Amino acid sequence: MALLTIFLQLFWTFLLIGTFTFGGGYAMLSLIQGQVVTLHGWISESTFTNIVAISQMTPGPIGINCATYVGYEVVHNAGAGWLLGVIGSITATFALMLPSFIIVLAMVKFYEKFKKSKTFEYVMEWIRPAVVGLIGAAAIILIINTSWEGFPLLSKPSFEVIHENFIDWKSWLLFGAAVLASLFFKVGPITIIIAGGLLGLLLY
């Protein structure tokens, strides 16, 4: 019964994430973190960061890869074997893709009709900055853990660096080098990932 509850929660959680995410996988990360780490406590911050890193390195959209990994991890941590873990992966991945599949089918039918509509243009103008905010939040939540003493936005926040992700000065150095290489030297993400992995082996 407990496992059935976990499968239902996985399906419902990723169905919500898939329904209310605009802007692709990176915009989805903050929602996934909020649900699986903060709300349900299925995995830790460090595990979530590892999942994001692996999802980034493996082929396919990062959001779907992340859902697949989380689905397996959650079911496996509940004491189930690898087969049920795979079913957990399928459940989370299917639930995440289902809303997009339905919405895209609807858009194919109605896009040509509404693409010149002023209402459609206004909606998209408001969605675009929200997507940028979600992508930015996805980066911030992997660095800083924020808590509130009272009601959010009406009380004093407390900020704390997630030490599992930045264990010492060398990890900050790697982070800064990756940011500089990406922003100013236009180094590709594949090169940065490979270089980060090699430097991690040498430094740790």
> What's the confidence (pLDDT) of residue 23?
65
**Other CB atoms within 10 Å distance of the CB of residue 36:** 27
**Other CB atoms within 10 Å distance of the CB of residue 16:** 15
> What's the confidence (pLDDT) of residue 14?
94
> What's the confidence (pLDDT) of residue 13?
94
> What's the confidence (pLDDT) of residue 92?
95
Secondary structure of residue 184 in the 3-state scheme: coil
Residues 183, 186: Cα–Cα separation, whole Å = 6
> What's the confidence (pLDDT) of residue 193?
84
DSSP conformation letters of 146-179: EEESSSTTSS-EEEEE-TTT--SHHHHHHHHHHH
| Percentage of residues in the chain having pLDDT higher than 90 | 22
- pLDDT tens-digit map of 36-71: 888 888 888 888 888 888 887 788 888 888 899 999
pLDDT in tens, the chain (204 residues): 588 899 999 999 999 998 887 766 777 888 888 898 888 888 888 888 888 888 877 888 888 888 999 999 999 888 888 899 999 999 999 999 999 888 888 877 777 777 777 887 787 788 878 878 877 877 787 788 777 776 666 677 778 887 777 888 898 999 999 999 998 988 988 898 889 889 888 888
